């Protein structure tokens, strides 16, 4: 289960210099975290049940010993069918296509659920999802810690990321470190396409995703990676609903070796 360490350091002193020491740090350490990606679209009539399942898995955390990290990724190839999904991005379409090439099982489709980059199936299959989560959580995971620093007034926030020694990595496969931002509480009143007239609600929608480094074996140090990436949150995003996710993924196989998440500090 993902453990969340919350520490607040309050320095109360009449001296103005002490005010700079005031900080609220939220830290999250990975402990059998399982990343569930759902490729979906508001233009797809079979996608809402999968969106609801992802939200259920995220909210209820039904598998003992596993912490679900949800990434709802809206593809853009449905946008020509009468409704332009406001959360869609060609980035997520490309990411899905990369998985299609790795799995070698036909073309892209929605809703498609992928667990830890290893197992894929129709996104509305609850029993299969829980089985895949349980199986993935039983494997050894890399230790990852993400700490949110105090945000600046301009929407910029720094995060400290520490990745433990590389474990479970296949020979000659690069273990890339990715940082994403998700937002909860998003919804749409759809006025076109297959879901015309429906009010759709979403789990954690992926807003951005970027590579921040590569994990190493940590031969010369106690960690495989340490960094302090800076994230710029858009003004339209609701800060209280944002979460930063970090995961290590093999470039060739697509396997996710470990993950952690932390709420963006207000």
Judged on CB neighbours under 10 Å (0-12, 13-18, 19+), 165 is middle
The DSSP line for 185-221 is S-EEE--SGGGTT-EEE-SSEEEEEEEEEE----SSS
Q: What does each of the 266 residues of the chain score in pLDDT, given as a tens digit?
A: 433 333 333 333 333 333 323 333 444 444 599 999 999 999 999 999 999 999 999 999 999 999 999 999 999 999 999 999 999 999 999 999 999 999 998 999 999 999 999 999 999 999 999 999 999 999 999 999 999 998 887 889 999 999 998 877 777 899 999 999 999 999 999 999 999 999 999 999 999 999 999 998 755 556 789 999 999 999 999 999 999 999 999 999 999 999 999 999 76
| Cα separation of the two ends of the chain | 24
Domain extents in the chain: 3-241+250-263
What tokens were used for 234? 């858009």
Q: Whole-angstrom Cα distance, residue 126 to residue 124?
A: 6
Q: Are 83 and 193 in contact (CB under 8 A)?
A: yes
Q: What's the gap between Cα 237 and its chain centre?
A: 16
Give the whole-angstrom CA distance, residue 33 versus residue 25. 21
Which residue, among 24, 21, 27, 22, has the nearest Cα to 8 in the 3D structure? 24
Angle among Cα 56, 62, 63 to the nearest 5 degrees reads 135
């Amino acid at each position: 289960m993902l453990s969340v360490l919350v520490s607040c350091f309050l320095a109360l002193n009449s001296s103005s210099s002490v005010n700079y020491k005031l900080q609220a740090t939220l830290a999250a350490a990975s402990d059998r975290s399982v990343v569930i990606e759902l490729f979906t679209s508001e233009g797809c009539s079979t996608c809402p049940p999968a969106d609801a399942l992802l939200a259920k898995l995220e909210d209820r955390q039904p598998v003992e010993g596993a912490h679900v990290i949800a990434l709802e990724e809206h593809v853009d190839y449905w946008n020509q069918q009468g409704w332009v999904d406001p959360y869609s991005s060609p980035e997520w379409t490309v990411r899905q296509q990369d998985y299609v090439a790795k799995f070698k099982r036909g073309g892209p489709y929605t809703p498609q659920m992928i667990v830890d980059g290893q197992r894929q199936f129709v996104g509305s299959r609850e029993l299969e999802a829980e089985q895949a989560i349980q199986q993935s959580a039983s494997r050894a995971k890399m230790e990852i810690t993400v700490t949110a620093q105090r945000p600046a007034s301009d929407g910029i926030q720094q995060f400290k990321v520490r990745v433990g020694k590389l474990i479970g990595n296949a020979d000659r496969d690069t273990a890339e470190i990715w940082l994403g931002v998700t937002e909860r509480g998003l919804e749409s009143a759809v006025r076109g396409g297959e879901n015309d007239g429906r009010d759709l609600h979403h789990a954690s929608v992926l807003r951005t995703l970027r590579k921040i480094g590569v994990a190493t074996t940590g031969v010369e140090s106690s960690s495989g990676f340490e960094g302090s990436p800076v994230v710029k949150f858009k003004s339209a995003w609701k800060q209280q609903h944002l979460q930063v996710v970090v995961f290590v993924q093999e470039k060739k196989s697509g396997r996710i070796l470990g993950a952690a998440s932390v709420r963006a500090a207000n």
